[in-house]
Amino acid sequence: MNKTHLKRAMALTLVVTLVLCQSFVTGTPLSQVVSKLQHYVAEAGTIRSAAKLPRAASLSVRGPVTLNGFSASDGATVFSGGGIKTTQDSTAVLSFGQMGQVELASASNFTLALEGTTLGGQLRAGRATIVAPAGVAVKIVTADGPILTDGKDAVVLTIDVTSGKTRVESSRSLTGVTTPAGVERQATDQQDIDPQEALRKASDAVSQIQKMQTAARQAKDVIKLNCLNDKLLQVRGLANVLEAQVKDLEKADQNAIKSIQTGINEAAVRVNNLLSEAQQCVGENVYNPRETQVNVAPPVDAPVDPPTPFPTPTPTPTPAAPPVGKIITITTAITSTAALAAELANKPSNSNNNTLSPIR
């Protein structure tokens, strides 16, 4: 038994002792004592222990992402004050386990800020989806001001600043969400989703994405595998949140049921959207578009153009032969020169006579 449970047990024992003493001293009927005990127990059930966020988040990346200006990889630890930037071709997820997560879309700039039970940060660019269970407040600061939740209800908020103005979306009512003046708010009410069905669908989504992972790994398709890894991590985080909320719902009183059910509805919608995105990861020409060559056969009765003849090559002009007379003259000169050289080589040398004999 941890310290929190021990304190609760001691407090409940003290309440029971005081009520029994009051009944004994004042003579209060036992039925009234039981009624008071039930009232105190119900109030004790609504008191939640303060949800303490982890000191840091675990980072999951798809594509090139930077953390404090340096390249980040899967599993990196992000402390409060850490700055995450995604590009046009990348996304990132900050996971706090059962305490929620922050999903950053492409071209986002986000700085994490953790303070006690408040999950917060500053969103300078892009879009962020914040998943927070009941007991965890949210504070996201944009250029238009802070977006705040009271932490009483579980929330799934999407905050978008891509257009230059802040836009806040939720699949449920935005009751308990405070936004600055001028911020666009959009909420879509929907019917409550069965908690066990939501948990089952989340488990099924994990299994389906794992099968897609196996196929992508066998095909050695790195692009599809990275995309699926990103979706799987987010679905697993939501499945953990759903599991915790279902357990809370089983022991919650009437006042807490509504807020827990709201969180279950939003998490279930998010799981369904992520499964659709995972199916797009393995879709054709989604993340790795390539030019596709299409050969279209002409109709049978289409006129056939005659083949284009190859152009006739232009013959290269052959240099004209010199006149016959010139050839004979050149040949005679060469022959005479050769004969003179042979005669000079065979004639003995005469040192007293420096003149050459005339050619006969």
Q: Which of 25 and 122 is assigned the larger pLDDT? A: 122
Kindly indicate the confidence band of residue 345, based on its pLDDT and cuts at 50, 70 and 90.
Answer: low
Kindly indicate the confidence band of residue 78, based on its pLDDT and cuts at 50, 70 and 90.
Answer: very high
Q: What is the mean pLDDT of residues 124-150?
A: 93
Over 60: is that where the pLDDT of 102 sits? yes
**What does the pLDDT read at residue 258?**
75
**What does the pLDDT read at residue 48?**
44
Over residues 4-56, the pLDDT tens digits come to 556 666 766 776 676 666 656 566 665 565 555 555 554 444 334 455 788 89
Kindly indicate the confidence band of residue 153, based on its pLDDT and cuts at 50, 70 and 90.
Answer: confident
Q: What is the mean pLDDT of residues 294-299?
A: 44
Q: Which of 165 and 3 is assigned the larger pLDDT? A: 165
Work out the mean pLDDT of the chain and round it to a whole number: 76
Percent pLDDT > 90 in the chain is: 29
Over 60: is that where the pLDDT of 338 sits? no
**What does the pLDDT read at residue 29?**
61
As beta bridge partners, residue 66 has 71, 85
Q: Which of 261 and 328 is assigned the larger pLDDT? A: 261
Over 80: is that where the pLDDT of 137 sits? yes
Q: What is the mean pLDDT of residues 118-124?
A: 95
Kindly indicate the confidence band of residue 309, based on its pLDDT and cuts at 50, 70 and 90.
Answer: low
**What does the pLDDT read at residue 37?**
56
Over 60: is that where the pLDDT of 194 sits? yes
Over the range 60-84, which residues count as b (16 or more CB within 10 Å of their CB) and which as e? bbbbebbbeeeebebebebeeebbb
Listed ranges 149-153, 204-208, 342-346; the one with the highest mean pLDDT: 204-208
Over 50: is that where the pLDDT of 294 sits? no
**What does the pLDDT read at residue 17?**
73
**What does the pLDDT read at residue 124?**
96
